[in-house]
Structure 1
């Protein structure tokens, strides 16, 4: 009887523990983009490799944290792709992924709105999610909005960071706009 009770307790513990994890969608990338547009959420994409030690640590130590799981499950469409299998190689090429884990935040257009590389601790990962959970980024084509002059200062700063590597000329234009706005605000406040 004691053995049965012991196994029941272990089973219950495992059941509770396994429910506290980020729930990753099991669908192709196109379906994820469509779902993100429909639900007006960003996609959190964990780009990993099966042999990657830091990726395994993220999966075991960070993605299973109750606070992380709760926040990411409520606020994002969560995706998990092995960059060496299935759609992984084409996604790695599309997003320039060369190290693992690469943690991406994408809008429904598939545009990168946030990016982090390597293992990060639970608290930092939760803060990263909160920083990137910007409703203005969900269904916005950032480049189009920038060219129309419709990005606010915080979004403009994100835009600069994201475009610095892929379009330095556009990032330079955005930084000039950012600092011009900042200077103008500073001038208005002093008056």
Structure 2
């Protein structure tokens, strides 16, 4: 599939600094170090579009990427385990909650999960919020190259038994092997109406 035509627009410290609340916007959410930036780079097929780091917690702002139709992909700060103060982590949680409660143009979420770790409590909270609000979401089980095929299937089955989700919204991903990138691109195109 053709890569998404994403361009970096800006880094915003709060929702007040985001672009006008119109059109379509999706957010990439997940724990620190699950590979959000790598997935953005893979779906756009641009190596350093989103800055990657081996140090958890590097994404500390809302990083905004635009598409040709003025829709947007927002890379959120990772939650949990970031090597930053608890006060900073609490600030990120507040900004995420503020975004979810007030941003009207939100068309969907991609929740990125390290397949080796599975869903964690905050992932489940966000999924619950999506379910309650009727917001479209998918789960990208990233780093699938780190497990055997059998282990990947077991990880998928565990999630299907834990939450109510259509199997087509549970996407096995590996940025290294480009697994699942086509499926994510298709999902984003649908959510962003492009």
Question: Normalised by the size of structure 2, how large is the TM-score?
Answer: 0.37
Q: Which has the larger radius of gyration?
A: 1
Write 1 or 2 for the structure with the bigger share of helix: 1
Which of structures 1 and 2 has the larger relative contact order (alpha carbons within 8 angstroms, sep 6+)? 2
Question: Normalised by the size of structure 1, how large is the TM-score?
Answer: 0.37
